[in-house]
Every structure is written in C-alpha cells, then in structure tokens.
Structure 1
Amino acid sequence: MLVVRADYKKYPIPVLEKMRIDEDEFYKKYDACVVVQTCNRIEAYFDTEVNSDVDCILSDFSGFDILKGKNATFHFLKVSCGMDSMILGENQILGQIKTSFQKARELKKTSRYLDSVFLKAIHVGQRARTETKINEGSVSIGSAAVELAEKNFGLANKNVLLIGAGEIGTLVAKALMEKHIKAVIVANRTYERAETLAKELKGMAVHFDKLKEAINFIDVIICATSSPHYILKKEDLIDVGNKIIIDIANPRDVDDAVREFENIKLYTIDDLRNISDKNLQKRIEEVPAVEKIIDEEYDVLMKQIEKINVEEVLKDFNNYIEEIRVKELEKAIKLSKTKNPEEIMENFSKAFAKRITHDFVSYSINTSKEDLMNSAWWKNGK
C-alpha cells in the first residue's frame, strides 16, 4: 500500500484547504484507491498492485509525505484509533474513515486488498475505543466546557446560551450537539454566523443587542468570543436568577466582579485547562494499550492479506492450466480422426506436462528462490 498525506503537523489549516483533493477528478483518474479528507488531514490510499506507476502518483501529489508498505499500514491503523489526530483519541476520524471508504466502494474504486485494510482499520478503531480509555474525558477547551457544565449541573432539559460563533464557539457547539439540552441560543456580533451555527444545533440565533433579554431565559451561559472587551459586566447580570457561566475566551469575556453574586457561578478558561490537562494525561496513559491492539490486529491483517495473495495465485494458476489444457485439447481433437486414440491421449498428456515444466524452468533460471516461492511464475511463462 502507498499513502500520500498532508496534515496539521506540517501545514496550517489555510494551506491544507488549498491542497484538498478534488475527489471527482481523483476517482476518474485512479482505481484501487480511497481518499480520506478532514479539516486537518488529507490522505489518499493506493493499492500498488493496481497502481504500479508510483512515480506518476508522486508527481500528482507534490508537497505530500509518502508512506509505503508496513509503515503505511501501521500509520493507517493509528489514524483510525485517533493516535495521529490533533486531539488524541478523538472519535470523529473513525466515522470519517467509514464515510470515505463507503464512497470509494460505491464508486467501485476499492480492491480486495484495500477492502481488507479499511475494514481492519475500522475494527481496530472500534476496539481501541471500547477496550481502552483513549477517547474518554474532554481534552479540548470547548469540549471541557460542556463536560464541566454537564458533570456539575447537568444539561438535560437546560437552556444554553452560546456567545460567540467563531472557531472555539463551533467546537463548543459540536460538543453540545451530543447532549440532551432543552434549547440552545447562539449570539454573535455577526448575526449571519450566529444564524448558521444555530441552524446546525437546531436552535435559534439572537442579535447581539438582544443579549441581555435572552439571558433571563437561560440556565447555562458559555462565552467564547474574540472580543478585546468584556461582553458581560456585573451590571448586566443583576436580578437574572441562578446562572452558570463558563468563560473560555482569551481575553476574558466576563468581568470577574460577577462572582460577587451568590446566584451566579463563574468558571474561567483556567478551570477548564486543569480539566483538559488531566484528561489528556489519562489518554496518554492509554497509548501503550492501544499500540498493543494495533500490533495484534496488524498480524491478523497480514494473515488475511497472505490468504488473499494465495487465492489470487491459485486463481491465476488455474487460469494458466486451463489455457494450456484448451490449446492441447484443440490439437488432439484435430488429430482424432486420423490417429489412434491412445496415441493421441499419450501425446496430449506429454505435451501438457512438458509445457508446464518448460515455462517453470524458463522462469526459475532468472528468479531467486525467495521470489520464485512468492511469485505467480506462470503469468510470465505464458
């Protein structure tokens, strides 16, 4: 297998966006291949038995890193487990791999080899997440904010106000989508962005100048803007009832003076960093267990691929034998009207055996013992 890859480790997101593969054009050009693309990863997987012109592939992917053989397979198994993700152990990549694989299969662009590798990678990713804790505990600030709110106060049937629809706010929104909240309201200085994010959350958007009115109906407030000034001051929160405020903005969105209200509980980004750091350390401790699963499943995969190779060899061998049999049989039939049947059968069997022996000897003279044992020599003998 050959993998061409570009990701967040080498390129910033804007550069990756420009490097994205046009999948329609890609699948028109190549067979036995699968593309996996996310917001911070671009990878294409090739079965090199079909795509033997590696130089042609590399010329199409200038700037991409290259992995081959065992390194490519191990890399992919790690990707499926979230071991190569920006957030260690994250779950989304597994669903993205499934979707990419399904698209390639529907287009009839996979091969028996790639089918085996992708199905194994999906299985390994599932094992890693069910048998270890590699994906437990929130490690991003946005997810940690939602985890804190749920763990300490519960989010079921709560009304949540998300202030800020930028990058961090979007991460919070994704985490909120998994919870059974009653309602979510999104506020942003650019109303259109708030409206777009609210639609994804199946919530509603509110204009920034209506923010104070919306607070009266909210249980939990999560602030994640990039404003250089306070969004919520002490005077904005007088007589608003019991509120939980989680401020993950940097610089801060909420004036620390609101802590003077007994009915308001304020958490800041410093509280969340402690949570995410502890969770990340727990995930790091799970890495050896995941690596053990990968090693185990890699060995199983190699046996599956070896079986596929043997089956392909036997198929080719049968085709080769059948081709010789048909040719010699045609000769025998032509002679059947003029010669003794026993003589014809004798000649037929000798010619059949001689052809196979001749082709094998011709091939083996210029082939090492190792290559001979692993190759379909009869392909070259024809």
Structure 2
Amino acid sequence: MITILKADHKKYRVDELEKLRVDEEEFYKNFDNSILLQTCNRVEMIFFNHDLEEIKRKVKNFDKFDILIDDEAIIHLFRLASGLESMIVGEFQILGQLKNSYLKAKNLGKIKSKEFEKIILKAIHVGQRVRLETDIGKGSVSIASAAVELVEKLTGLEGKNLLLIGAGEMGTLVAKALKEKKIKAIIVANRTYEKAESLAKELGGIAIKFDKLKEALKYADIVISATSAPHPILTKERVRDIGETIIIDIANPRDTTDDIRELSYIKLFTIDDLRIVAEENLKKREKEIPKVEEIIKEEFKVLKEKLEDLKVEEEIKEFCKVLEEIREREVKKAIDIFKNKNISFEEVLENFSKALCKRVICEVKRFYKN
C-alpha cells in the first residue's frame, strides 16, 4: 500500500544527506502517486501502491535508505508531522514542509489515489491537532530558535547590533526567530547579495556584500553564522580585532574554527552548545510525548476505519459497475430473442430474470472470494 524510503539526521550528517538528495523533476517523472519530502535534515520518498523492485530500479542510492511499509509508514508520517522525528522534538517546521510537498505533488497531478490523499491529509491533521492540544511545541523548537534563546539568556537582544551571516534555509529560520525582537540593528551578509537583501528587508535590517564582512564583524555585538560553506569562514585571525562579541555558529559543517576560543573577549557557541539548550527544553517536553503518542494512536485507529470504509466503497462501486454491464448484456439478449423468435413475452422475461440472477450470484461469489 504505502512505502517510505527514509534518510534523516538520526543516521546521517547534513553533508551526507546532501549527497542523497533527489532531483525533484526526475522523481516526479518516474513516479505517480508519490511525494518527495526534502529538508536539510531529511530526504524522504513516499510511494503509494508501488512495487518495491520498481522503486529499487529507479531510485539512486536505494540501499542508503531505510524502508517503512504500510502501518509502520503511516505511524512514521504521524510522528513526523507531530514533531517527534525532528532534530529537536516538537519542532513544527516539518509540518509546513510536509504540507508544501503534498501540495507540490498534487499540483503536478501525482496524487491520484483517494486513499493516498486521505493518509497524507490525516498526517497533516494529526500535526495540527498535536500543536493545538499539547505543549510539545512550546519554547525553542529548532537550532535557530535555540540560538536566539541562548543570546537572550546571555546578554539580551534589546539595543544590540546583530550580524546574521547566511541567508539560506537556516539563516531564514534565524530570521523568523528574530522577528518582533527589540534589536537595535540587524545586518545580513550572504555570498549572493540578492538573498541577503531580501532577508534584510523582511527583518527591517540592511544587507551587505560578503567582502564587507570584516567591517560588519567589528560593528556587531552578536554574530549568528549559518552558511552552507564547505570550509570555515570565521577564523581566529579574521575575528582577532573585532572586540567583545558573542558568536553563535549553527552551520553544519561549522563556519568557525576552535582557536577562536583562545580570544577571551569572544564567546563562541556551536551546535554542540545549542544541544544543551535543546536538552533542557526537551526535559520540559518529555511529559508531553505520551499525550502526542495517544493522539497518534487515536487518529491511526480513525484512519484505518476510514480506509476500510473507502476500500468497501470502491469495491461496491466496482461491483455495481459489473452488475450494470451484466444487466445491459442480458437485456440486449432478451430483446434479440423477443424480436427473432416466436416466443411469448412472459417466457422471455422468465428466461431473462433467471439468467440475470445466475450471473449476479456468480459475481457475488467472486466478490466475496476476493
């Protein structure tokens, strides 16, 4: 029924996941009744009524993915939408990503099964219900928001100058976490200036080109670095003369080098430090996990009942179609006999009804055997 190929942060680093990413156009060219879900922390392919051997033939790096089938796959989707499978438990960004991936597939005409659509929509509904009915999403629920929370605990944001390096996915998440915070000034730096300009406009800040980074570092009280650069962009030599600064590196691979810690006037924090913040929040949320799992259990039962009803409806619809074909054939036979043979109307009707009943009984037996 439903098959999921899954690779995520639990098994792979971000750079490893990058190598497993799938070309979207090629994916949808190869598969109907399918959804491609790709984020910085996961690559997942969701298939409905596809033969596993067919999937294996067409999916590159097939052996690198975990395989989930039927009920296990559905439960995974529910947990995913509920934030239980996120890098930081309770992070609901994935809910919007799942919804967008579903809409993308639907707009491309790739959701052709009512059953498949019902499963995905139920997963989205589960995520929405969990968000409304539990506190699992309260507090910092992503590395980006954990970074902002850490700054607020250390020094506060009000009246500070903040430099955000990177305007990609993670930088955008930081921007969302910074909205409505009382910051004196926000500077956004990115290798692609247009991206920096767009994000800066959203934040009410200013954008700079990457070659102006040195000047911006001297101006900033707080630096949050979130690029996708393959090598460090902030080294001890580069930040030696920037003065007292808090640097938070949430890039993976890292944007900073460890020797920066040798400078006493600079406080450097990396993803490892943010995990401490995340762990504190996780402890607060642990008591909410059973509530989420109870909702998942309840909604799974509801879905299974609806899928069974849908299956019966489809079978009855198909059965009625067969019966109508039988009726039409027998009516035609009866009319032909009545026209071409010297036989009474009553006898034709009698033969017609017997033949019709016999055919219907045969179809009923076949229906129940299946």
Which range, TM-score by smaller chain?
0.7 to 0.9
Q: Does the aligned pair in 1 maintain the 2:172–2:199 contact within 8 Å?
A: no
Structure 2: gaps spanning 5 or more residues: 226-232, 250-256
Q: From the superposition, tell whether residues 223 and 322 of structure 1 become closer, same or farther in structure 2 (CA, over 3 Å).
A: closer
Shift of 1:83: 1.1
Corresponding position of 2:215: 210
Unaligned 5+ runs, structure 1: 238-244, 259-265, 365-370, 376-382
Instruction: Give, in whole Å, the separation in 2 of the partners of 1:27 and 1:172.
Output: 28
Normalised by the length of structure 1, the TM-score is 0.77
Q: Match for residue 112 of structure 1?
A: 114
How far apart, CA to CA, are the structure 2 residues paired with 1:284 and 1:43? 26
The equivalent residue for 1:321 is: 323
C-alpha distance in 2 between matches for 1:105 and 1:25: 16
Question: 1:162·1:221 contact (CA, 8 Å) conserved in 2?
Answer: yes
Aligned with 1:227 (options 218, 229, 235): 235
Counterpart of 1:358 in structure 2 is 362
Report matched runs for 1:74-223 at 5 Å. 74-110=75-111, 111-138=113-140, 142-149=144-151, 160-162=161-163, 164-165=165-166, 170=171, 173-180=174-181, 183-186=185-188, 192=191, 196-197=195-196, 199-202=198-201, 203-205=206-208, 207-211=212-216, 214-215=219-220, 221-223=222-224
Quote the Cα distance in structure 1 between the aligned partners of 2:239 and 2:311. 64
Q: Match for residue 343 of structure 1?
A: 347
Q: Give the CA deviation at 1:105.
A: 1.2
* Range 92-101 or range 30-39, more displaced: 30-39
Cα RMSD (Å): 3.3
Tell me what 1:55 maps to: 53
> In the alignment, what sits opposite 2:302?
300
- 3-state SS, counterpart of residue 236 of structure 2: coil
Give how far 1:315 is off: 0.4
The DSSP-based 3-state class of the residue aligned with 2:5 is strand
Aligned-residue offset at 1:354: 0.8
Cα distance change of structure 1 residues 35 and 12 upon mapping to structure 2, 3 Å threshold? same
Instruction: Specify the SS of the correspondent of 1:336.
Output: helix
The percent of aligned pairs where both chains have the same amino acid is 39
The 3-state SS of whatever aligns with 1:66 is strand
Q: Summarize deviations over 1:61-85 as a string: whole Å, max 9, x none.
A: 3222211111111111111112112
Correspondence 1:282-301 to 2 at 5 A: 282-301=284-303
Deviation, structure 1 residue 275: 3.5
Would the alpha carbon gap of residues 179 and 267 (structure 1) be closer, same or farther in structure 2, given more than 3 Å must change? farther
What TM-score comes out, normalization by structure 2 length? Answer: 0.79
Deviations 1:167-205 (A, max 9, x none): 998377344454455641135xxx636774454242322
Cα distance in 2, alignment partners of residues 348 and 335 from structure 1: 10
Q: Structure 1 residue 29: deviation in Å?
A: 2.5
3-state SS of 1:247 partner = strand
Matched, 1:32 2:33: yes
Aligned length: 340
Question: Is 2:248 the counterpart of 1:248?
Answer: yes
Please say if residues 88 and 141 of structure 2, whose CA atoms lie closer than 8 Å, have aligned partners that are also in contact. Answer: yes
Query: Could you tell me how far 1:113 is from its partner in structure 2?
Result: 0.8
CA distance in 1, matches of 2:123, 2:199: 30
- Using the alignment, how far apart are the partners of 2:8 and 2:276 within structure 1? 28
What SS does the aligned partner of 1:186 have? strand
Deviation for aligned residue 1:296? 0.7
Secondary structure at the counterpart of residue 4 of structure 2: strand
* CA shift in 2, pair 1:358/1:304, >3 Å: closer
Q: Secondary structure at the match of 2:287?
A: helix
Rg larger in 1 or in 2? 1
